[in-house]
């Protein structure tokens, strides 16, 4: 084959190679739908991107248990304390609350002190607190506290789940085979009873934690002040009267101290007199002996 024949053969091989390359599918990458091959029918349903994993902050917020409490101090006339406290209790009952404690005390100088502790659903707190500032009451102090109980709730739930699974396994072992000895059966029953007691105790803890986190505790302190006495016309003898009262109280206190001192010393007085008499007699004998010797 001449040089011309070799040239034709090389040209034909190059054309065949180019034709094979054109028959290959070209791959085009799409940033959203992934790789799509040209020449292939597109998919009816595109491949959706995988949803992003939930953020840690969202997971924490979904499992957060906060115990919220409010404390209010009210100032109002002493004569209105009992009626105001009863009105608040009536409002509380309408809002489906739980009353924990109520106290009503009559203090000195006509003062009346009262305390109310209760629990409310969170959605009822705003309506109840608006009623606290209604006349004649005046809110003089308000504090809010929030305590995170998330770890405690999750720990109790986990322990309850573990104890329940253990109880199921022990119950399955107890019902499983009939070849167990009486000792094994008694031991299994004791373990089941102990686990059941732990479950009931843990359930009570869980219910308490859920109660204090699902409701809001409100404490109300009522300070009922007696009305001020009107000043009489003319001279004000009140300071002198107060001084006389203080003088009398001081005199009574001094006399009481003297009586206490006498009560303490009186039982020892005979012993002191006897000791003094013995010392005097002993001294007299010493002087007589010295006079005899000289």
pLDDT in tens, 139-191: 999 999 999 999 999 999 999 999 999 999 988 888 876 667 888 888 888 99
Task: Please say whether the beta carbons of 103 and 131 come within 8 A.
Answer: no
Residues 142 and 79 grouped into a single domain: yes
Residues 70 and 128 grouped into a single domain: yes
Which stretch of 23-37, 88-102, 143-157 has the lowest confidence by average pLDDT?
23-37
28 domain-assigned: no
Distance between CA 96 and CA 128 in Å, rounded?
A: 11
193 domain-assigned: yes
Range of the domain at 136: 62-149
Residues 162 and 145 grouped into a single domain: no
Residues 130 and 100 grouped into a single domain: yes
Per the structure, the count of domains in the chain is 2
137 domain-assigned: yes
159 domain-assigned: yes
185 domain-assigned: yes
Residues 175 and 142 grouped into a single domain: no
Number of residues assigned to the chain: 294
Per-residue model confidence (pLDDT) at position 107:
83
Per-residue model confidence (pLDDT) at position 44:
39
* Terminal Cα distance for the chain, rounded: 176
Residues 70 and 116 grouped into a single domain: yes
C-alpha angle 172-176-177 in degrees, rounded to nearest 5: 155
261 domain-assigned: no
Which stretch of 27-41, 112-126, 260-274 has the lowest confidence by average pLDDT?
27-41
pLDDT in tens, 221-249: 999 988 766 656 666 777 888 888 888 88
- Looking at 126, 149, 172, which one is the last position of a domain? 149
Per-residue model confidence (pLDDT) at position 184:
81
- Looking at 212, 229, 253, which one is the last position of a domain? 212
Residues 119 and 198 grouped into a single domain: no
Residues 120 and 92 grouped into a single domain: yes
Distance between CA 157 and CA 150 in Å, rounded?
A: 11
46 domain-assigned: no
Mean per-residue pLDDT over the chain, rounded: 79
Residues 133 and 159 grouped into a single domain: no
pLDDT in tens, 104-138: 998 887 889 999 999 999 999 999 999 898 999 99
CATH code (residue 84): 3.30.70.260
Residues 130 and 188 grouped into a single domain: no
Q: What residues form DSSP beta bridges with 221?
A: 73, 115
Which stretch of 40-54, 88-102, 155-169, 252-266 has the lowest confidence by average pLDDT?
40-54
Q: What residues form DSSP beta bridges with 120?
A: 216
> 86 or 228: whose pLDDT is higher?
86
- Looking at 161, 180, 212, which one is the last position of a domain? 212
Q: How far is CA 186 from CA 69, 123, 182, 189, 197, in A?
A: 48, 51, 6, 5, 17
Per-residue model confidence (pLDDT) at position 229:
65
Residues 127 and 159 grouped into a single domain: no
278 domain-assigned: no
What share of the chain in percent tops pLDDT 90?
45
Residues 73 and 140 grouped into a single domain: yes
């Amino acid at each position: 084959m001449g040089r011309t024949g070799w040239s034709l053969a090389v040209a034909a091989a190059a054309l065949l190679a180019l034709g094979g390359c054109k028959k290959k599918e070209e791959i085009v990458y799409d940033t959203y739908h992934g790789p799509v091959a040209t020449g292939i029918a597109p998919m009816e349903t595109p491949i959706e991107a995988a949803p992003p994993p939930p953020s840690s902050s969202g997971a924490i917020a979904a499992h957060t248990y906060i115990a919220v409490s409010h404390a209010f101090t009210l100032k109002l006339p002493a004569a209105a304390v009992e009626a105001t406290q009863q009105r608040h209790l009536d409002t509380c009952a309408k809002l489906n609350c739980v009353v924990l404690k109520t106290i009503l005390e009559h203090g000195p100088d006509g003062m009346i002190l009262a305390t109310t502790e209760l629990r409310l659903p969170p959605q009822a707190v705003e309506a109840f607190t608006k009623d606290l500032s209604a006349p004649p009451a005046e809110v003089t102090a308000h504090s809010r506290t929030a305590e995170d109980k998330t770890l405690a709730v999750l720990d109790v739930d986990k322990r309850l789940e573990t104890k329940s699974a253990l109880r199921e396994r022990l119950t399955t072992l107890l019902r499983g085979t009939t070849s167990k000895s009486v000792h094994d059966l008694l031991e299994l029953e004791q373990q089941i009873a102990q686990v059941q007691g732990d479950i009931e105790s843990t359930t009570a803890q869980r219910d308490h934690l859920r109660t204090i986190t699902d409701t809001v505790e409100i404490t109300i302190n009522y300070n009922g002040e007696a009305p001020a006495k009107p000043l009489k016309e003319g001279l004000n003898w009140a300071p002198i009267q107060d001084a006389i009262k203080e003088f009398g109280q001081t005199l009574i206190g001094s006399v009481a101290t003297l009586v206490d001192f006498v009560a303490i010393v009186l039982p020892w007085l005979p012993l002191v007199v006897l000791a003094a008499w013995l010392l005097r007699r002993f001294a007299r004998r010493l002087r007589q002996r010295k006079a005899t010797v000289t």
